[in-house]
Chains A and B, each alone.
Chain A
Amino acid sequence: MSNAPLVRVIGASKDYRRGSETVHVLDHLSLEVPAGDFLALMGPSGSGKTTLLNMIGGLDRPSQGSVEVAGQRLEQLSDGKLARWRADNVGFVFQMYNLLPVLSAAGNVELPLLLTRLGSADRAKRTAAALALVGLSDRAKHKPRELSGGQEQRVGIARAIVGDPRILLCDEPTGDLDRKAGDEILDLLTALNQKHGKTIVMVTHDPRAAAHAKHILYLDKGSLTSEAA
C-alpha cells in the first residue's frame, strides 16, 4: 500500500461573515493524509473539524490556501466539476445517516450509482454487494424508518462505498448510536480500512471511537494542536 499523501491541505484558512463580525474557523492549517490511512480528527465543538472535513470532501472551499486530493487541486474546479469529482472520489458518512426516507435501503445505496453510466442490472449488482459488505442483504427492501439506528448507519456506509471512492469521510458516524451499535460501525470502518484499503478521515468527539484510527489529530480554534499515533 502506498504511503504517498492522498490528501494534502496547504495553509488552508476559512473565514465566515456573521453580521459585521468575521469568524475564523480554520487558520492556515496544513495537513497530509497518506493513502490507506485511518485518521481521526478530534477537538471541541467549533474547532473546525467538520469544516476541514467538508473542504477535503469538496463541499466547502478554503478562503485561503489549497486542498489537494488524489492529485486534484479542489479550489481549481468549478461547482459542476467539483460535484462530478465528489461522485467519483469521495464517500460521505453522516452522523444522522441522512438517508432519503422515501427510498428503500437498496434505493438509498443505489443513489450515487445513478450518476454513473452503469445499467440497472450492474447497479443492482453493486448495490447488493455493498449491502452484503455491511451485513444488510436481508434489509434491502426496508425503508429507513423500518431500520434501527445502527442499521441505518450501515446503509449510510454502504451508500458511501458503493461507488468505490478513494476516500471515506465520516462526520461523527457513531454520534447518534448506542455503544453496541457504535462499536459495530467502528469495526466496520476498521475492516474497510484494513481489509479493503479505504482511506478514512473521521471526525469524532468520542475517544473510544478515535482509538480505532491509526492516527489522531487534535484541532482547537482552527489549528492543529497535537498528534497522537
Chain B
Amino acid sequence: MFRFLPLLWANLWRRRLRTVFTLLSILVAFLLFGLLEALRFAFFGGVEAASDDRLMTQHRMTIVRDLPGGYLGKVRAVPGVKFVSPQVWFGGWYQDEHKPLQVIAVEPEAFIDVYPEIRITEVEKRAWFIDRAGVIVGKDIAAQYGWHVGDHIPLQQNIPYKANGNTWDVNIRGIFDRPNGNNNGVFMQYKYLDESRQFGRGRVGWMVSRLENPADLPRIARQIDTMFENSPDETKSGSEKTWVGDFAKQVGNIGLILSAVAFAVFFTMLLVTGNTMAQAVRERTSEIGVLKTLGFSHAAVTWLVLIESLLLTLTGGAAGLGLAWLLTRGMQPFVATLLPLFKLPGHALLLGLVLTVLLGLAAGALPAARAMRLGVVQALRGG
C-alpha cells in the first residue's frame, strides 16, 4: 500500500490550484464541524456528565427565586435521600468586570458528598472545610488566571450583598478536577456568604440531592414537590440530566440547528469533493488505461482512486479538525463563563475523523466505479 503513496500524492497535486481549493473547502467544513461540535458539547456536555442519582430542586416559578433554608432539613429527611447540598449563585468577577466568574456558595462537606466525581486531594479538601473564607477552584479557571493553592484573591460582586463594599477576600484552598465536566467553577463557603449578606439571609438558591437509588428519583421528586405544595415557595424537582437539558433548551433547539448546519456543510462538501475526484479521473482516463496495460487490475485501480479521495479528505479534514481544536482551546478562556464546557471533546474528534473517511469513500465511489468499468483499450483511447 505505502509503495503507491508517491503515485497517489503526485496525482493529488497534478492540478495544484484545484487541489488547494478543494482542501481549503474541506478544511473549512471540518473547522466548522469542530466549532459546532464544541458548541453542542457546551450546551449538552453537561447533560452527558450529569449524574443519574442527583436530583435538583428549585423554586417552581424560576431558578432566580430562592428557597427557605429550612427546606434543607425537610429534604434530607425524605427516605432515599443520602445527601443534600444547598447552592446559591454568587457570580462575581476577578480583575475584569467583563469576564464574570461562576462562583457558587455551597456547604463544603455536603457538596463533596453530592459530587463524588470531583477530584481533590484530601489535604486540600480538609483545608477548605475549616476555612470559612476558603474556596476551591476548577483546574481550567486556575490555569487561566494562574491561581495556586494558598493564593489570597479578592472577588468583586455587583450585587450589593454587603454593606461595606463589594470585595470578598477569599483563600484558594484547593484546585479540583471534574473529569469530562465543568472545571471553570469557583465554590465558596455558604456560611461566608450568608453571614455577610444584607438580604436573603438563611435562604438558598436551589438544592442538589444525591439519592440512594436512581430508580427512586421520580417518586422522591414528587414527594419533595408535594411537601411544599401550597406554600409561598413551591418547588420543582427533577433529575440533574433533565435540569441541565432544560437549561440548554431555553436557548432553542440547539441540537437540531447544529445538526442541520452540519448536514448542509457535509452535503456541499460531498458535491465539491466528488466533483474534484470525477474531474481528476476523467482527465486521467488514458493513464488509467496505461496502468491497466501494465498489469494493474480493475480492483487495484478502483482502490487507487478511493485512496486518493481519502487522502484528500483526510488531509483537509485533519487540518480542519486540528485547527478547530486549537481555536476552541484558544477561545475557551473568553467564553468560559457563558459556555464553561466549550471545547472539542475526544469523541467529536473521533466522529470527525470517521466523517472524513466516509466523505472520502462517498466522494470517490462514483469516479472509482467509472475507473473500474473502463476497458483497457477503451481507456487507452481516452474513454
| Chain A positions near chain B (C-beta within 8 angstroms) | 54, 57, 59-60, 79-80, 83-88, 92, 94, 98, 100-103, 107, 111-112, 114-115, 120, 123, 159
CB atoms of A84 and B298 under 8 A apart: no
CB distance from B19 to the nearest CB of A (A): 12
Q: Is B199 an interface residue (CB 8 A)?
A: no
Q: Can you show 28 pairs from A to B with CB atoms below 8 A apart? A: A54-B376, A57-B293, A60-B376, A60-B377, A80-B297, A80-B299, A83-B296, A83-B300, A84-B297, A86-B295, A87-B294, A87-B295, A88-B295, A92-B294, A94-B380, A98-B287, A98-B289, A98-B380, A100-B10, A102-B10, A102-B11, A107-B10, A111-B7, A111-B294, A114-B4, A114-B7, A115-B294, A115-B300
Task: Determine if B49 is an interface residue (Cβ-Cβ < 8 Å).
Answer: no
Complex contact B11–A111 (CB within 8 A): no
Q: Quick check: B298 and A80 within 8 Å, CB to CB?
A: yes
| Chain A min CB distance to B346 (Å) | 36
Smallest CB–CB gap between B291 and chain A, Å? 7
Extra contacts, 20 of them, besides A114-B4, A115-B296 (Cβ < 8 A), are A57-B293, A60-B376, A60-B377, A79-B298, A80-B298, A83-B298, A84-B295, A84-B297, A86-B294, A87-B295, A92-B294, A98-B287, A98-B289, A98-B380, A101-B14, A102-B11, A102-B14, A107-B10, A114-B3, A115-B300
Q: Does B6 have its Cβ within 8 Å of any Cβ on chain A?
A: yes
The complex places the Cα of A187 from the Cα of B296 at a distance, in Å, of 30
A-B pairs with the 6 shortest C-beta distances?
Answer: A87-B295, A102-B10, A83-B297, A59-B376, A86-B295, A98-B290
With A79-B298, A86-B294, A115-B296 as contacts: A103 and B10 at CB distance below 8 Å: yes
Return chain A residues, CB-CB under 8 Å to B296: 83, 87, 115
Which residues of chain A are near B297, meaning CB under 8 Å?
Answer: 79-80, 83-84
Q: Of residues A92, A112, A114, which shows the largest number of chain B Cβ atoms within 10 Å of its Cβ?
A: A114
Residue interface mask B1-29, A partner, CB < 8 A = 1: 00110110011011000000000000000
Measured CA separation A86–B295 after assembly (Å): 5
Instruction: Judge whether B377 and A54 touch: CB under 8 Å.
Output: yes
Docked CA distance A87–B6 (Å): 20
Q: Which chain B residues have a beta carbon within 8 Å of chain A's beta carbons?
A: 3-4, 6-7, 10-11, 13-14, 286-287, 289-300, 376-377, 380
Within the assembled complex, what's the spacing in Å between the Cα atoms of A170 and B13?
A: 31
Give every chain A residue within 8 A of B4 (Cβ-Cβ): 114
Flag if A59 contacts B7 (CB, 8 Å): no
Q: CB-nearest residue of chain B relative to A115?
A: B295
* Chain B residues positioned under 8 Å from A84 (CB to CB): 295, 297
The answer for the CA separation of A87 and B376 in the assembled complex, in Å, is 14
Within the complex, which residue of B6, B11, B293 is in contact with A86, where a contact is CB–CB below 8 Å? Answer: B293
Q: Which residues on A sit within 8 Å (CB–CB) of B380?
A: 59, 94, 98
Residues on the B chain within 8 Å of A57, using CB: 293
Chain A residues within an 8 Å CB radius of B289: 98
Chain A nearest Cβ from B17, distance in angstroms: 15
In whole angstroms, what is the CA distance A92 to B296 when docked? 13
Which A-chain residue is minimally distant from B12 (CB atoms)? A102
Contact of B295 (CB < 8 Å), options: A54, A83, A98: A83
Q: Give Cα A75 to B347, complex, Å.
A: 53
Specify which chain B residues have a CB less than 8 angstroms from the CB of A79 in the assembled complex. Answer: 297-298
Tell me, in angstroms, the Cα distance from A184 to B230 when the chains sit together: 107
Tell me the complex Cα distance, A86–B289, Å. 13
Output the residue of B13, B292, B297 with the most chain A CB within 10 A. B297
Q: Given A114-B7, A120-B3 in contact, is the A100-B294 Cβ separation under 8 Å?
A: no
Chain A residues within 8 Å of B286, by CB:
98
Q: Do residues A59 and B298 form an inter-chain contact, with CB atoms below 8 A?
A: no
Query: Chain B's nearest CB lies how many Å from the CB of A201?
Result: 15
| A100/B287 contact (C-beta < 8 A), A59-B376, A60-B377, A114-B7 known | yes
Q: Are A103 and B7 in contact (CB under 8 A)?
A: yes
Closest to B299 in A: A80
Per the bound structure, the CA–CA distance linking A98 and B294 in Å amounts to 11
